[in-house]
């Protein structure tokens, strides 16, 4: 859209769907697949170095007899140029109230999590079409692959009352002394006595990540917490407060569904159990 800044984009695990989010608070979906290459043009596109090394990867043996879906994959493996068609618009997903800053696909490829400066993360899932129009599904007829539609499944809320105040210096919340806590409380009381209390700064969700089993969504929030939600119900499971400054990275382990790490502007990297909320290493 004109005047919109794209803040993030991501391919689906299968590589045929592309999602993008921007400053218009929306998430856009396209389907983008390689077109079948002309059979007679394939051999001429194999690089000379690949031919000399015998790296034709069966492209010449097939002679184009395989299906159109497999042919581009063989061409890519052999170093040939693969023709791509125009991306097909699938849906425009709405619901966020501020910029969409990150998109993460689930490992299964049937859901996405989006992070936003409105203080929420949202889960979008593909579902079989039903009668009527649903929120976020875009204009009527905006169907996904195999005539499926995308819709908002759950909103992951960060309640402002639950957040602790970020510390300004280095170190961790666990290392704060009782004396420092008392000084901070006194300073806050003095400030409130001389002026009206200012409203808390709006929360922003900086990063999101899916655990390996797609059961839990992790998020780095601007109040220095790292949060975990149930991906299906949206129920918050944990709120970790080990960082003294906002975390700028949260990642789930690629092989173990319980492990995750977070890294913050305080210079701290924490490894923790996503199911129990227990910090394992710092």
Residue-level pLDDT at 45: 46
Phi, psi of 193 (to 5 degrees): -75, -25
Averaged pLDDT in 10-residue chunks for the chain of 282 residues: 83 90 91 62 44 42 42 51 78 91 92 91 80 45 56 81 49 49 64 60 86 92 88 88 83 88 86 84 77
3-state secondary structure of 264: strand
Over residues 1-26, the pLDDT tens digits come to 667 889 899 999 988 889 999 889 99
What's the predicted TM-score (pTM) here?
Answer: 0.66
3-state secondary structure of 71: helix
Distance in angstroms (rounded) separating the CA atoms of residues 1 and 22: 10
Residue-level pLDDT at 188: 66
Distance in angstroms (rounded) separating the CA atoms of residues 24 and 96: 9
164-281 adopts what CATH topology? Methylamine Dehydrogenase; Chain H (2.130.10)
CA angle 148, 152, 154 (to 5 degrees): 130
Residue-level pLDDT at 70: 42
Residue-level pLDDT at 67: 42
Over residues 167-188, the pLDDT tens digits come to 554 444 444 455 555 656 666 6
Q: Confirm if 214 and 230 have CB atoms less than 8 A apart.
A: no
Residue-level pLDDT at 53: 46
């Amino acid at each position: 859209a004109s005047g919109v800044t794209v803040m993030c984009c991501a391919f689906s695990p299968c590589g045929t769907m592309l999602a993008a989010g921007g400053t218009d608070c929306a998430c856009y979906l396209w389907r983008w697949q390689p077109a079948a290459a002309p059979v007679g043009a394939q051999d001429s596109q194999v690089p000379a170095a690949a031919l000399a090394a015998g790296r034709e990867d069966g492209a010449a043996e097939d002679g184009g007899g395989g299906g159109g879906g497999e042919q581009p994959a063989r061409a890519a493996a052999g170093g040939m140029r693969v023709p791509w068609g125009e991306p097909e618009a699938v849906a425009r997903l709405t619901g966020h109230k501020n910029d969409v800053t990150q998109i993460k696909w689930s490992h299964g490829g049937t859901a996405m999590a989006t992070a936003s400066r409105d203080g929420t993360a949202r889960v979008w899932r593909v579902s079989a079409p039903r009668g009527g129009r649903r929120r976020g599904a875009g204009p009527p007829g905006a169907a996904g692959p195999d005539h499926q539609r995308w819709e908002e499944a759950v909103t992951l809320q960060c309640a402002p009352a639950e957040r602790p105040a970020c510390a300004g210096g280095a170190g961790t919340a666990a290392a704060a002394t009782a004396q420092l806590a008392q000084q901070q409380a006194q300073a806050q009381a003095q400030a409130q006595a001389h002026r009206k209390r200012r409203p808390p700064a709006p929360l922003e969700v900086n990063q999101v990540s899916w655990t390996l089993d797609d059961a839990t969504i992790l998020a780095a929030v601007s109040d220095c917490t790292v949060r975990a939600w149930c991906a299906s119900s949206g129920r918050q499971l944990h709120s970790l407060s080990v960082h003294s400054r906002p975390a700028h990275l949260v990642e789930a382990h690629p092989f173990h569904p319980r492990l995750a790490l977070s890294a913050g502007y305080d210079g701290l990297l924490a490894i923790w159990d996503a199911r129990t909320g227990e910090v394992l290493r710092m």
